């Protein structure tokens, strides 16, 4: 996160205005990095009272199946060494708590690591997961393995950069000021070199997003897992084939808002582009499974059987359990937009759930 320019005790918007007045228009990614850092640092954004709701907050079934997925994979890999279990951006710690509860009966005793920048969310996570070790970024994760890394709705929160095809060629989208308002402006530097041949030919007006922060984290973790043995499980909304167009969105109290008007007050996200992340993992020597649709993956892992067990234990909750199941798997809800991809070290077995269906 770039915080080279000293912060005073001021709002996010005020800081960004001073930064742009001093340095001129800044890249969209830098704007997003500052805005999201402040946003997460100051609040618990999750749940019906907050700004958005994630899969683990919808139903315990989500984290439970991930827990069994992890324990099964570790067990089939030999299950002898202590597992380092890492979660990136754990929110309220709900997913990890469900992972551990579901896999309690498995003979594993993983060491927990949580990568989290927000002091507010760290405090909530420590309450739920008292033994977990916190990390501000991935650089302090252990060098011993094996290691499984879980990331649900983490990569979408990392800053995205946009390249736009103008009449003068490809340029970076930057955030400048017009009458004290944040506006998108195109930069002056040519940016063709960041695009593939096919992308350069896209019509004038096209926006292509690139994800330097996500790529950097994925590359480092892929190399680490290749060396230590283990797996990386990525669940997020996004696209598997190269796409174009802006996917930047801002959400506040479950409603879309303008991404530039309230920096630090709204959750800013962009769809994850899975293809370059898969390439980075393969380059590091990992085998890549998926991306598949979240609905297919959860169904292949047995979410329906889990739903029947929960319903049998609490028949009065049958309707709400069924409604939450639908939210997670149905193609018009989270089932299709959300994708699941795993990158696994070459000495580990095939992970469960990656069946391909038409």
Tell me the closest approach of the beta carbon of residue 48 to ligand SAH, in angstroms: 13
C-beta of 36 vs 172, nearer to ligand SAH: 36
Residues facing 163 on adjacent strands: 172, 208
C-beta of 77 vs 132, nearer to ligand SAH: 132
Tell me the closest approach of the beta carbon of residue 140 to ligand SAH, in angstroms: 12
Tell me the closest approach of the beta carbon of residue 151 to ligand SAH, in angstroms: 7
Nearest-angstrom CA–CA distance, 242 and 257 = 26
Tell me the closest approach of the beta carbon of residue 36 to ligand SAH, in angstroms: 6
Residues 6 or more apart whose CB falls under 8 angstroms from that of 83 comprise: 70, 74, 108, 110, 111, 146, 147, 148, 230
C-beta of 7 vs 282, nearer to ligand SAH: 7
Tell me the closest approach of the beta carbon of residue 45 to ligand SAH, in angstroms: 7
- Positions in the binding site for ligand SAH (CB under 6 A): 36, 40, 46, 54, 56-57, 89-91, 95, 115-118, 121, 152-154, 157-158
The 3-state DSSP composition of the chain as helix, strand, coil percent (nearest 5) reads 40, 25, 35
112 and 138 in contact (C-beta within 8 Å)? no
C-beta of 36 vs 186, nearer to ligand SAH: 36
- Nearest residue to ligand SAH, scored by beta-carbon proximity: 89
C-beta of 89 vs 295, nearer to ligand SAH: 89
Give pairs for 20-26: CB < 8 Å, separation 24+: 20/175, 20/176, 20/177, 20/182, 21/177, 24/176, 25/174, 25/175, 25/176, 25/177, 25/185, 25/187, 26/174, 26/175
């Amino acid at each position: 996160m770039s915080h080279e320019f000293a912060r005073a005790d001021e709002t996010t918007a005020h800081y960004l205005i001073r930064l742009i007045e001093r340095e001129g228009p800044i890249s969209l990614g830098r704007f997003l990095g500052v805005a999201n850092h402040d946003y997460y640092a100051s609040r618990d954004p999750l749940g019906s009272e907050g700004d958005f709701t994630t899969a683990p907050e919808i139903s315990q079934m989500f984290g439970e199946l991930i827990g069994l997925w992890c324990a099964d994979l570790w067990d089939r890999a030999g299950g002898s060494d202590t597992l380092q279990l890492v979660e990136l951006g754990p929110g309220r710690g709900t997913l990890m708590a469900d992972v551990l509860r579901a896999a309690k009966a498995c003979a594993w005793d993983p060491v927990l690591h949580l990568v989290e920048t927000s002091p507010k969310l760290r405090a909530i996570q420590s309450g739920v997961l008292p033994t977990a070790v916190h990390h501000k970024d991935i650089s302090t994760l252990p060098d011993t393995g094996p290691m499984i890394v879980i990331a649900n709705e983490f990569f979408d929160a990392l800053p995205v950069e946009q390249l736009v095809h103008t009449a003068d060629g490809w340029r970076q989208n930057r955030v400048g000021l017009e009458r004290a308002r944040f506006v998108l402006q195109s930069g002056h530097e040519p940016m063709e070199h960041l695009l593939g041949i096919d992308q350069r030919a896209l019509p004038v007006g096209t926006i292509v997003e690139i994800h330097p922060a996500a790529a950097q984290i994925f590359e480092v973790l892929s190399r680490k897992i290749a060396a230590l043995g283990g797996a990386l499980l990525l669940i997020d909304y996004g696209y598997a084939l190269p796409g174009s167009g802006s996917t930047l969105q801002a959400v506040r109290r479950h409603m879309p808002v303008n991404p530039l008007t309230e920096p630090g007050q709204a959750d800013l996200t962009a769809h994850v582009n899975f293809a370059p992340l898969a390439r980075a993992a393969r380059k590091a020597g990992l085998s890549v499974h998926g991306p598949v649709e979240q609905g297919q993956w959860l169904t292949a892992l047995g979410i329906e059987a889990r739903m029947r067990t929960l319903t049998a234990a609490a028949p009065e909750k049958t309707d709400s359990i069924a409604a939450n199941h639908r939210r997670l798997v149905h193609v018009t809800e989270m089932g299709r937009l959300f994708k699941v991809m795993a990158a696994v070290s070459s000495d580990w077995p095939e992970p469960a759930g990656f069946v391909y269906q038409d």
